[in-house]
Amino acid sequence: MGKAVTLGVLGSVLGVETTLVGIAWSILYYDFAGMYDLTVLTQNLPVIFPGILDHPCVPASLNVHVGNLLAGLVWLTSILSAALVLSLTLTGLGLYGLGGGKRGLRVVSPIFGAAASLLAAGLLVFGVAAGGSTPTFTSLIAPTLLTEHPIQYTILMGGVPSVNTLQLWLGLITLGVAIITHGTTLISLRGDGTNSNLRLAAGALSIASGITLIAGPATLWLAFIALSLTFTATNLTLFQSRKKHNRKTTSI
């Protein structure tokens, strides 16, 4: 049990660092989403103002910028997903090592946490990497304008690079459920040990951060801030339990 708790301590430390990546990911996602909306709007404006088609440099530049932001988002999502899988799995093992409570729930926590975080990681990466592109008015008529501005309209004819919002949301829901499971486990263990209040606080924070993730992309930054507090409280819980276990081992 002592080794499992030690792994949990390491996992929760990694979890705190992972949330910093998560906050950076949230900022990049919001940046991408805002630029994506602006680019789609710009490329649909020729429906009302056809003269814009004679000046394709700005929409083409916006298209390239959106593509660059998406490439960065794919890279950061891969790092975030791998870190979340590792931190949630190790933290789940730590909760199992605490002992007490309902053994079934302690067993479910690491297994379900690992499986759900793996599924969430796949959904998140797939959501940003396989979103395809959004057709616009400009992209549809771009082939007829290639002779006038070949470079710009070659870029524009592919549409605006996008993400699969549904896949992203499903990934966040799955991740949120895994975190809520950890929180439920912590609350169930609050009567076993001297740090019952800390376990209750960590469990409540875990459930709150999981619910915030389930709410979708609009509350990403808040979810990762809450998750940072969750991992911090969980780390303190596991660390105190580890110290108590070491004192018992030494006295024996």
Would you state the pLDDT for residue 103? 60
User: Considering the chain, what percentage of its residues have pLDDT values greater than 90?
Assistant: 47
For the record, the structure tokens of 12 come out as: 């929760």
Q: Using one digit for the tens of pLDDT, what is the confidence trace for 145-170?
A: 888 888 888 989 989 999 999 999 99
pLDDT at residue 188 is higher than 70? yes
Would you state the pLDDT for residue 104? 64
Q: Are 63 and 156 in contact (CB under 8 A)?
A: yes
Q: Using one digit for the tens of pLDDT, what is the confidence trace for 110-154?
A: 788 889 999 999 999 999 998 889 999 999 988 888 888 888 889
What total number of domains does the chain contain?
A: 1
Highest average pLDDT, of 171-175, 181-185, 233-237, 239-243, comes from 171-175
Q: How confident is the model at residue 191 (pLDDT cuts 50, 70, 90)?
A: low
Would you state the pLDDT for residue 212? 92
Q: Of the candidates 6, 79, 18, 1, which has an alpha carbon nearest to the alpha carbon of residue 232?
A: 18
Residue 39, classified by CB atoms within 10 Å of its CB into exposed (0-12), middle (13-18) or buried (19+), is: buried
162-165 LR contacts (CB < 8 Å, sep 24+):
162/36, 162/70, 162/131, 162/132, 162/133, 162/134, 163/32, 163/70, 163/73, 163/127, 163/128, 163/131, 164/126, 164/127, 164/128, 164/130, 164/131, 164/132, 165/127, 165/217
Residue 101 φ/ψ region, left for φ over 0, alpha for ψ in the -120 to 50 degree band, beta for the rest: left
Would you state the pLDDT for residue 113? 83
| Residues in CB range of 25: below 8 A, 6 or more apart | 73, 76, 77, 80, 220, 224
DSSP 168-207: HHHHHHHHHHHHHHHHHHHHHTTTSSS-HHHHHHHHHHHH
Q: Using one digit for the tens of pLDDT, what is the confidence trace for 57-95?
A: 989 999 999 999 999 999 999 999 999 999 999 988 888
For residue 55, give its domain range: 2-251
For the record, the structure tokens of 89 come out as: 């799995």
pLDDT at residue 97 is higher than 80? no
pLDDT at residue 107 is higher than 80? no
Q: Using one digit for the tens of pLDDT, what is the confidence trace for 193-214?
A: 557 788 888 889 999 999 999 9
